[in-house]
Amino acid sequence: MRWIWIDRFVEFESGKRAKAVKNLSAAEDHYAQHFPGYPVMPATLILEGLAQTGGILAGEANAFREKVVLGKINKARFSREFLAGETLEYEVELVHMRPEGATVVGKVLVEGEVAAEAEIFFAHLDQSRSKQAFGESNFVFTGEMKHLLDQARRAGATNHGTVV
Amino acid sequence: MASHEDVLRKVSSTLVEALNIDEDEIKPASTLAGDLGAESIDFLDIVFRLEREFGIKIPREELFPEVAQTSDIELLRDGKYTAKGLAELKKSLPFANFDDFEKNPEAALFGNLFTVDMIARFVQDKLVRSGKA
Report the CATH number that the domain containing residue B20 is assigned in CATH. 1.10.1200.10
Flag whether A14 is in a domain.
yes
| Partners of residue A72 in chain B, C-beta under 8 Å | 41-42, 45
CB half-sphere exposure, B5, CA atoms < 13 A = 0
For the stretch B46-81, pLDDT in tens is 999 999 999 999 998 888 888 888 889 999 999 999
ipTM given for this complex: 0.80
DSSP-derived 3-state class of residue A136? coil
User: Does the structure show a pLDDT above 50 at A162?
Assistant: no
For the stretch A36-75, pLDDT in tens is 989 999 999 999 999 999 999 999 999 888 899 999 998 9
The pLDDT of residue A146: 66
By Cβ distance, the residue of A95, A101, A131 closest to B44 is A101
Contact A77, A27 (CB under 8 A): no
| Partners of residue A128 in chain B, C-beta under 8 Å | 40-41, 44
Flag whether A160 is in a domain.
no
From A74's Cα to the closest Cα of chain B, the distance in A is: 7
User: Does the structure show a pLDDT above 50 at B8?
Assistant: yes
Q: Do A98 and B51 touch (CB under 8 A)?
A: yes
Flag whether A159 is in a domain.
no
| Partners of residue A123 in chain B, C-beta under 8 Å | 41, 44
For the stretch B66-119, pLDDT in tens is 888 888 999 999 999 999 999 999 999 999 999 999 999 999 899 899 999 999
Flag whether A158 is in a domain.
no
Distances (CA, A) of B26 to B19, B20, B59: 11, 11, 25
From B10's Cα to the closest Cα of chain A, the distance in A is: 18
- Count: domains in chain A: 1
Flag whether A152 is in a domain.
no
DSSP-derived 3-state class of residue A118? strand
Report the CATH number that the domain containing residue A68 is assigned in CATH. 3.10.129.10
Q: Tell me the one-letter amino acid at A142.
A: T
Q: Which stretches of chain A sit within 8 Å of chain B by CB? A: 71-72, 74, 95-96, 98-101, 103, 121, 123, 128-129, 131
Q: Which domain holds residue B123?
A: 4-129
Contact A58, A86 (CB under 8 A): no
CA A128 to chain centre: 21
By Cβ distance, the residue of B40, B45, B51 closest to A121 is B45
* A13 Cβ contact partners less than 8 Å away, ≥ 6 residues apart: A156, A159, A160, A162
Flag whether A107 is in a domain.
yes
Q: Do B44 and A121 touch (CB under 8 A)?
A: yes
For the stretch A91-144, pLDDT in tens is 999 999 999 999 999 999 999 999 999 999 999 987 665 445 555 566 677 667
The pLDDT of residue A139: 67
For the packed helices B4-19 and B116-129, what is the interaxial angle rounded to 10 degrees? 120
The pLDDT of residue B131: 82
- Count: domains in chain B: 1
> Dihedral of CA A23/A24/A29/A30: which sign?
positive
> Dihedral of CA B42/B48/B53/B54: which sign?
positive
| Partners of residue B64 in chain A, C-beta under 8 Å | none
Q: Which domain holds residue A84?
A: 8-142
- Please tell me the distance from the alpha carbon of residue B84 to that of residue B74, in angstroms, as a whole number: 7
By Cβ distance, the residue of B18, B47, B60 closest to A74 is B18
